[in-house]
Structure 1
Amino acid sequence: MKLKLENRQIAVYTALILAVIMLFLPGSSKNKYRFEPEVMAKTINEKGDQVSPQDLSQWIIEGKTDYQLIDIRNSEEYAKGNIKTSENIPLENLLKRSTIDTDLSDSKMIILYSNGNSHAHQAWLVLKAAGKDAYVLEGGFNHWVAAILNPEPAKDSSDDEILKYNLAASISSYFGGGNAVKSTDNPVKSTDSKGSGAVKPKSKKKKLEGC
């Protein structure tokens, strides 16, 4: 199992390196590919690279169509649980130049998510270099499950806290609550390189991990 995971991580990093090389080869279409580390670093420091689960949930409920939501996990993980309106383009396929040039919108926001943050940020770097208006879902699918599908109970009985919880509960209900993760006996584990995480409803009282 460990060897299989290591081989998969090697494949992901190889795809990332090849994607960057291909993007900057002479003759890149439209000469639109460029790497600006200072600009990217500033964006990351100011958290301008992230979309919060709360904002995304509102956009989905409102029916906004000015973004493309992409789940970069493998098809098995996607089938176990995913976010409404998302499409599944595994990371290895997403980083192909043909995918970037033909399947990703030039006019819409591109919002990426994995189980945690690290793989999505790797893809974000490539897409930003390719000139895409790319963002990462803050905390990934694990954080979405914790923040949107299983909101924290009201901290006290004050009107504000109860109102806040009722709003969060109604949003959770819209997305299916804990039932949105189709298999809680076989939770989704993060394939991101810096750790692993199980996606479970908070009713199980288990801590979500992963990056």
Structure 2
Amino acid sequence: MNARIKISVLLAGVGLILAFLPFNAAKSFQLKPTELLEISSNSDMYFSVDEVARFVNNEDSTIQLIDLRSASEFMESNIPGSINIPFNDLLNPNWEGYLNQDRVRNVYYANGDETANMAWTIVSGLGYSNSFVMKGGMNEWYLTVMLSEFTGERITPRENSLFENRYKARRTFTQINSLPDSLKKQYLEAKRLEESQLDGGCE
């Protein structure tokens, strides 16, 4: 896709997004479509599911995973350590402390790429830095991490490292998501409280 088509698509997309933003949020949109296009053309805005699995395994405190799916989808299954900010609630002022900060890198994910890319466009356009997308979303997480298996007689050191990373993340994912709903809710509420206290309170 050439640059002119990309700019046209991005302009149309940003126009649609702005049409649905509350007036005060739309008024504060800071980046021009051409600036967003330049940033989005850089593959550095994406993390692979393997990179996210490594963040989970290392309990990386410089990463905040943001699940954009509905609350019911989030309760059913989510990547350990993530918080739920449904896409249709993204501009709720209560989330400002999570979205607009320099302390951590926010990694957005949904089921696929479309919703996460739209969320990235909104938050980046509003001037929030350190925003990224988990490429492929939960669909790719399931395919790559949860269904990963080794076949064959020999495995290279790199393949072994990759498989171990996926296996450890899969085990953590399964443990957290197999908790009874009541315990899972307590765990998620405790995590949210901890994050809000670190951010100076955003509840």
Counterpart pick for 1:24 among 23, 26, 40: 26
Q: Is the counterpart of residue 66 in structure 1 residue 62 in structure 2?
A: yes
Sequence identity of aligned pairs in percent? 21
TM-score (norm 1): 0.65
Structure 1 position 35, deviation (Å): 2.0
1:103: which partner in 2?
98
8 Å contact kept, 1:95–1:126? no
Structure-1 separation of matches of 2:82 and 2:109: 9
1:125-140 correspondence to structure 2 within 5 Å: 125-132=121-128, 133-140=130-137
TM-score (norm 2): 0.67
Q: What whole-Å deviation, never above 9, does each CA across 1:22-52 have from its counterpart, x for those lacking one?
A: 3232xx5xxxx40222222123223232111
Amino acid paired to 1:35? L
Structure 1 position 182, deviation (Å): 5.7
Structure 1 position 15, deviation (Å): 7.8
1:115: which partner in 2?
111
Amino acid paired to 2:25? L
Amino acid paired to 1:130? L
8 Å contact kept, 1:16–1:95? no
Distance 1:37 1:48, change over 3 A: farther
8 Å contact kept, 1:15–1:92? no
Structure 1 position 126, deviation (Å): 0.7
**Where does the alignment leave 5 or more consecutive residues of structure 2 unmatched?**
1-15, 179-203
Aligned pairs, number: 161
Distance 1:174 1:159, change over 3 A: closer
Q: Is the counterpart of residue 144 in structure 1 residue 141 in structure 2?
A: yes
Structure-1 separation of matches of 2:81 and 2:33: 31
Structure 1 position 177, deviation (Å): 4.9
8 Å contact kept, 1:151–1:165? no
Amino acid paired to 2:59? G
8 Å contact kept, 1:24–1:34? no
Distance 1:34 1:100, change over 3 A: farther
8 Å contact kept, 1:72–1:90? yes
**Which segments of structure 1 move beyond 4 Å, counting only runs of 4 or more?**
none
**Where does the alignment leave 5 or more consecutive residues of structure 1 unmatched?**
1-13, 184-211
Structure 1 position 75, deviation (Å): 1.2
Structure-2 separation of matches of 1:20 and 1:49: 26
Counterpart pick for 1:41 among 29, 37, 42: 37
SS of alignment partner, residue 44 of structure 2: coil
Structure 1 position 102, deviation (Å): 3.2
SS of alignment partner, residue 21 of structure 2: helix
Structure-2 separation of matches of 1:158 and 1:139: 29
Amino acid paired to 1:173? Y
Structure-1 separation of matches of 2:17 and 2:41: 26
Amino acid paired to 1:109? R
Counterpart pick for 1:79 among 63, 75, 82: 75
